[in-house]
Protein backbone atom coordinates (compact mmCIF):
# COMPACT_ATOMS: atom_id res chain seq x y z
CA UNK A 1 0.00 0.00 0.00
CA UNK A 2 2.83 2.42 0.85
CA UNK A 3 4.40 1.38 -2.41
CA UNK A 4 1.25 2.28 -4.31
CA UNK A 5 1.19 5.72 -2.72
CA UNK A 6 4.82 6.20 -3.72
CA UNK A 7 3.96 5.11 -7.24
CA UNK A 8 1.08 7.55 -7.55
CA UNK A 9 3.22 10.34 -6.12
CA UNK A 10 5.84 9.60 -8.77
CA UNK A 11 3.20 9.60 -11.49
CA UNK A 12 1.85 12.90 -10.19
CA UNK A 13 5.33 14.38 -10.31
CA UNK A 14 5.87 13.26 -13.87
CA UNK A 15 2.47 14.71 -14.71
CA UNK A 16 3.51 18.12 -13.40
CA UNK A 17 6.89 17.93 -15.14
CA UNK A 18 5.21 17.02 -18.41
CA UNK A 19 2.81 19.93 -18.07
CA UNK A 20 5.70 22.33 -17.57
CA UNK A 21 7.48 20.73 -20.51
CA UNK A 22 4.52 21.21 -22.80
CA UNK A 23 4.02 24.80 -21.69
CA UNK A 24 7.67 25.70 -22.12
CA UNK A 25 7.91 23.89 -25.42
CA UNK A 26 4.95 25.80 -26.75
CA UNK A 27 6.40 29.14 -25.62
CA UNK A 28 9.76 28.35 -27.19
CA UNK A 29 8.26 27.24 -30.47
CA UNK A 30 5.95 30.22 -30.71
CA UNK A 31 8.77 32.58 -29.74
CA UNK A 32 6.67 33.97 -26.90
CA UNK A 33 9.27 34.03 -24.20
CA UNK A 34 8.09 36.63 -21.70
CA UNK A 35 9.45 36.38 -18.20
CA UNK A 36 8.59 32.75 -17.63
CA UNK A 37 10.89 30.86 -19.94
CA UNK A 38 14.08 32.23 -18.41
CA UNK A 39 13.11 30.83 -15.01
CA UNK A 40 11.95 27.38 -16.10
CA UNK A 41 14.27 24.37 -16.17
CA UNK A 42 15.65 23.31 -19.56
CA UNK A 43 13.36 21.11 -21.67
CA UNK A 44 15.62 18.09 -21.79
CA UNK A 45 16.06 18.14 -18.04
CA UNK A 46 12.28 18.13 -17.58
CA UNK A 47 12.02 15.24 -20.00
CA UNK A 48 14.68 13.20 -18.20
CA UNK A 49 13.21 13.93 -14.78
CA UNK A 50 9.74 12.93 -15.93
CA UNK A 51 11.08 9.65 -17.30
CA UNK A 52 13.00 8.80 -14.15
CA UNK A 53 9.97 9.64 -12.08
CA UNK A 54 7.84 7.29 -14.17
CA UNK A 55 10.46 4.57 -13.79
CA UNK A 56 10.26 4.89 -10.00
CA UNK A 57 6.47 4.76 -10.27
CA UNK A 58 6.54 1.71 -12.51
CA UNK A 59 8.83 -0.27 -10.27
CA UNK A 60 6.89 0.53 -7.11
CA UNK A 61 3.46 -0.11 -8.61
CA UNK A 62 4.67 -3.43 -10.04
CA UNK A 63 5.99 -4.58 -6.68
CA UNK A 64 2.92 -3.18 -4.92
CA UNK A 65 0.51 -5.03 -7.16
CA UNK A 66 2.50 -8.24 -6.92
CA UNK A 67 2.43 -8.04 -3.12
CA UNK A 68 -1.27 -7.32 -3.36
CA UNK A 69 -1.82 -10.51 -5.31
CA UNK A 70 0.18 -12.46 -2.77
CA UNK A 71 -1.81 -11.20 0.19
CA UNK A 72 -5.14 -11.70 -1.59
CA UNK A 73 -4.03 -15.23 -2.36
CA UNK A 74 -3.33 -15.84 1.31
CA UNK A 75 -6.61 -14.36 2.43
CA UNK A 76 -8.89 -15.95 -0.10
CA UNK A 77 -6.95 -18.87 -1.53
CA UNK A 78 -7.02 -17.47 -5.01
CA UNK A 79 -4.90 -14.69 -6.45
CA UNK A 80 -7.31 -13.37 -9.00
CA UNK A 81 -10.91 -12.44 -8.83
CA UNK A 82 -12.57 -9.98 -11.04
CA UNK A 83 -12.47 -6.45 -9.75
CA UNK A 84 -12.40 -3.37 -12.00
CA UNK A 85 -9.71 -1.87 -9.79
CA UNK A 86 -7.30 -4.64 -10.70
CA UNK A 87 -7.97 -4.16 -14.34
CA UNK A 88 -7.52 -0.43 -14.21
CA UNK A 89 -4.32 -0.69 -12.21
CA UNK A 90 -2.86 -3.16 -14.66
CA UNK A 91 -3.98 -0.88 -17.45
CA UNK A 92 -2.21 2.08 -15.82
CA UNK A 93 0.91 -0.02 -15.44
CA UNK A 94 0.73 -0.88 -19.09
CA UNK A 95 0.21 2.74 -20.14
CA UNK A 96 3.20 3.99 -18.19
CA UNK A 97 5.36 1.16 -19.48
CA UNK A 98 4.30 2.27 -22.93
CA UNK A 99 5.22 5.87 -22.16
CA UNK A 100 8.58 4.81 -20.81
CA UNK A 101 9.26 2.82 -23.95
CA UNK A 102 7.97 5.42 -26.43
CA UNK A 103 9.59 8.45 -24.81
CA UNK A 104 12.91 7.35 -26.30
CA UNK A 105 11.73 6.66 -29.81
CA UNK A 106 12.04 8.98 -32.76
CA UNK A 107 8.37 9.60 -33.34
CA UNK A 108 7.35 10.15 -29.75
CA UNK A 109 10.24 11.87 -28.02
CA UNK A 110 9.44 15.39 -26.81
CA UNK A 111 5.97 16.87 -26.80
CA UNK A 112 4.07 13.75 -27.87
CA UNK A 113 5.46 11.67 -25.02
CA UNK A 114 4.59 14.44 -22.59
CA UNK A 115 1.02 14.46 -23.84
CA UNK A 116 0.85 10.70 -23.31
CA UNK A 117 2.18 11.16 -19.80
CA UNK A 118 -0.54 13.69 -19.06
CA UNK A 119 -3.18 11.38 -20.51
CA UNK A 120 -1.89 8.56 -18.32
CA UNK A 121 -2.27 10.60 -15.23
CA UNK A 122 -5.84 11.50 -16.15
CA UNK A 123 -6.52 7.75 -16.27
CA UNK A 124 -4.92 7.39 -12.85
CA UNK A 125 -7.16 10.08 -11.42
CA UNK A 126 -10.19 8.41 -12.97
CA UNK A 127 -9.20 5.08 -11.45
CA UNK A 128 -9.08 6.81 -8.09
CA UNK A 129 -12.43 8.51 -8.37
CA UNK A 130 -14.87 6.81 -10.72
CA UNK A 131 -13.65 3.27 -10.26
CA UNK A 132 -13.30 3.50 -6.49
CA UNK A 133 -16.65 5.12 -5.94
CA UNK A 134 -18.89 3.42 -8.42
CA UNK A 135 -17.36 0.31 -9.83
CA UNK A 136 -15.21 -1.45 -7.32
CA UNK A 137 -16.58 -3.24 -4.30
CA UNK A 138 -13.45 -4.25 -2.51
CA UNK A 139 -11.33 -1.13 -3.20
CA UNK A 140 -13.38 1.66 -1.74
CA UNK A 141 -10.40 3.62 -0.58
CA UNK A 142 -7.35 2.74 -2.56
Partner 1 sequence: MEIVLVGLNHRTAPVEVREKVSFSAEQARRAADELRSRGILEETLVLSTCNRSEVYGVPPESSHECAPGLSSFLSEFHAVRPEALSGSLYHHYDREAVRHLFRVSAGLDSMLLGEAEILGQVREAYRFAHEQGATGPVLNRMFQGALEVGKRVRTETDLGTRPMSVASAGVKLAERIFGKLEERSALVLGAGAISEQVIAQLRGRGIANLFLMNRSRDRAEELARQYGGKVAGWGEWETALRAPDVVVSSVATEEPILGLEVVERAMEARKNRALFLMDLGMPRNIDAGVAKLYNVYVYNMDDLSDIVQQNRQARENEIPRAENIVEAHVGKFLSWQASVELVSLVDELRARVQEERNAFVKARMDSMAHLSEPDRLRMEGLMDELLEKLLLEPARKLRGEKELRRKIQNVEALRDLFLSKRDKP
C-alpha 90/C-alpha 62 separation (Å) is 9
* Residue ranges in contact with partner 1 by CB under 8 A: 24, 28-29, 31, 33-35, 37-38, 40-45, 105-107, 109-112
In the complex, minimum distance from the CB of residue 90 to partner 1, in angstroms, rounded to a whole number: 30
C-alpha 38/C-alpha 25 separation (Å) is 13
CB nearer to partner 1: give 70 or 104: 104
In the complex, minimum distance from the CB of residue 7 to partner 1, in angstroms, rounded to a whole number: 27
CB nearer to partner 1: give 3 or 40: 40
CB nearer to partner 1: give 45 or 122: 45
CB nearer to partner 1: give 22 or 61: 22
C-alpha 86/C-alpha 71 separation (Å) is 14
Closest CA to 121 of 1, 2, 18, 4: 18
Closest CA to 90 of 72, 73, 110, 65: 65
In the complex, minimum distance from the CB of residue 21 to partner 1, in angstroms, rounded to a whole number: 11
What dihedral do alpha carbons 87, 93, 97, 103 form, nearest 10°?
Answer: 110
In the complex, minimum distance from the CB of residue 17 to partner 1, in angstroms, rounded to a whole number: 14
Amino acid sequence: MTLSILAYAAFALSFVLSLIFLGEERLLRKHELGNMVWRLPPLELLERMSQSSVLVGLVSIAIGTALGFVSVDRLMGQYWFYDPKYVVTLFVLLLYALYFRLARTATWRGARASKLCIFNFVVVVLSFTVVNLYLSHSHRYF
